[in-house]
Amino acid sequence: MNLILVTICAILLTQVNAGDISGSVTCDNILKFFVDGQLEASSNDWQVASPVSFSDTAHVLAFDCLDEGVIAGIRGSFSNGVVTDSSWRCSTSADEGWKEIGFDDSNWQDATIQTHTNWGANPTSIPSEAKWIWTAGDTADTHVFCRLRLHPATCVPGNLNTSHVMDPNDCKRFWQCVHGTYVSMPCAPGTGFHEGQQRCEHLYLLPNCN
Ligand SMILES: [Ca+2]
């Protein structure tokens, strides 16, 4: 009987709506996981991955992880192929708006892949392609924030938070949401797109766009 119940629960947990992204996340030790600024999972047991599910129009995945003890790391895997690796950006500072879509994370550091062996393969529900990540400070840093900007091809018309986003291929262009699909548009000469302001700004205000 218990096996049947467990099986039914497992099936229910793995059912997601079309257009959704599912995933598993964890952190050593106290996890908060956000999608576009909204809390989606929290846990204080790194050995048990937390299941998450969110729309494929999501723009920003973000971890807030508070370490206890000695070693620390963040790990996650998602059905869109995204895993935790050095392409994430991390900081020891929870800057204002850090987990939001419009936050400029270009001054954050690239995530450092952690190689402590104590974890083994746990939690085993997260595939090995997903690395443990942290800041370069390793065990010297106890509270770390990591985020990754996704670049969904589709968008939600009328969602002001995502109506315009920087073109991931060119900071002097922006994506505009047109009938549920992004269309790349140019900024005026001498300007680049500022997601926080939702408009093109002079390049001297955008030190990472030249
Ligand atoms: Ca720890």
Span 111-122, pLDDT tens digits: 999 999 999 999
What's the gap in Å between 193 CA and the centre of ligand 1? 39
Q: How many CA atoms lie within 13 A of 3 on its CB side?
A: 0
What's the gap in Å between 118 CA and the centre of ligand 1? 10
What's the gap in Å between 90 CA and the centre of ligand 1? 17
What is the band of 2 on the pLDDT scale with cuts at 50, 70, 90? low
Instruction: For 47-81, give one letter per residue: b (16+ CB within 10 A) or e.
Output: eebbebbbeebbbbbbbbbebeeebbbbbbbbeee
198 or 61, higher pLDDT: 61
Q: What tens digit of pLDDT does each residue of 3-17 get?
A: 555 454 444 444 445
What's the gap in Å between 46 CA and the centre of ligand 1? 9
Between CA 193 and CA 209 the distance in angstroms is 9
What's the gap in Å between 108 CA and the centre of ligand 1? 22
The two three-digit tokens of residue 151, written as one number? 């670049």
pLDDT score recorded for residue 18: 56
Between CA 139 and CA 172 the distance in angstroms is 38
For the segment(s) 19-149, the CATH number from 2.60.120.260, 2.60.40.10, 3.90.550.10, 3.40.50.1100 is 2.60.120.260
Between CA 53 and CA 61 the distance in angstroms is 12
What's the gap in Å between 205 CA and the centre of ligand 1? 39
What's the gap in Å between 26 CA and the centre of ligand 1? 12
Closest of 129, 34, 118 to residue 75, by C-alpha: 129
Instruction: Answer whether 101's CB lies under 8 Å from 156's CB.
Output: no
What's the gap in Å between 64 CA and the centre of ligand 1? 14
The two three-digit tokens of residue 177, written as one number? 């949401």
Look up residue 45 and give its amino acid: D
What's the gap in Å between 66 CA and the centre of ligand 1? 8
What's the gap in Å between 47 CA and the centre of ligand 1? 11
Residues of the chain with CATH 2.60.120.260: 19-149
What's the gap in Å between 173 CA and the centre of ligand 1? 42
Between CA 49 and CA 26 the distance in angstroms is 5
Between CA 44 and CA 26 the distance in angstroms is 9
Residues 6+ apart with CB under 8 A from 158: none
